[in-house]
């Protein structure tokens, strides 16, 4: 197993993906335990002017409540929050989210890097960053910052990624540190809820 990492003091789980990530989220998000003591924040690249159906899709499937972020929303543990299309999603402090219309990063807004970098700056070693399938390098720089602050880097296996460019870039960014696998992360989160 990758590590060692201490899951007992973690506060936030940040997940980013693009092309091919929905299939992984279909398995990952419903598997999160109902007693999860972390805030879960998700960025998926979506067309900027479309309405996101992700909260309504995942709400019935997940054991945690699911919603879309709004500016100045409270960050709550045990809740899954999706970035809205057309806005960067950041954490301002340990209490609130912020939405931004700053320029796209890697042609994307919301950007995984923007979320991950803010998570790293606010939460340091109390954060997990997860990079899933996608066709750009978004997320690599942000995951590197999370790892550099002592957080837990998790990268989807390149062999299971429908579009491997994003996880490949993330692995290269955090080398030589080995990322944790999705299965390892879920096992640690299950164990964490059992001990609290």
Positions marked catalytic: 18, 45, 138
Q: Which tokens sit at 121?
A: 């700056």
Which is it for strands 88-91 and 97-100: parallel, antiparallel or unpaired?
A: antiparallel
CB 20 within 8 A of CB 162: yes
Of 80, 82, 95, nearest to 39 by C-alpha is: 80
Q: Show the DSSP H helices in 32-149 as ranges.
A: 54-58, 112-123, 140-148
CB 142 within 8 A of CB 114: yes
Residue that the structure tokens 């994307």 belong to: 108
DSSP 47: -
Q: What sign does the dihedral 171-109-151-141 (CA atoms) show?
A: positive
Whole-Å CA distances, 69 to 74, 83, 85, 193:
9, 6, 10, 25
């Amino acid at each position: 197993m990758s590590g060692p990492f201490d899951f007992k003091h973690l506060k936030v789980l940040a997940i980013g993906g693009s092309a091919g990530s929905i299939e992984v989220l279909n398995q990952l998000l419903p598997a999160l335990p109902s007693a999860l003591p972390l805030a879960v924040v998700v960025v998926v690249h979506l067309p900027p002017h479309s309405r996101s159906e992700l909260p309504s899709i995942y709400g019935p499937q997940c054991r945690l409540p699911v919603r879309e972020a709004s500016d100045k929303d409270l960050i709550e543990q045990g809740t899954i929050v999706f970035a809205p299309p057309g806005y960067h999603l950041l954490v301002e402090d340990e209490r609130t989210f912020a939405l931004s219309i700053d320029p796209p990063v890697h042609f994307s807004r919301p950007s995984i890097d923007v979320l991950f970098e803010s998570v790293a700056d606010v939460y340091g070693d109390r954060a997990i960053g997860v990079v899933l399938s996608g066709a750009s390098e978004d997320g690599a720089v942000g995951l590197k910052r999370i790892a550099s602050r002592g957080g837990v880097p998790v990268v989807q296996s390149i062999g299971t990624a429908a579009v491997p460019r994003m996880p490949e870039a993330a692995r290269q960014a955090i080398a030589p540190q080995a990322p944790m696998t999705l299965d390892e992360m879920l096992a640690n989160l299950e164990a964490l809820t059992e001990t609290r």
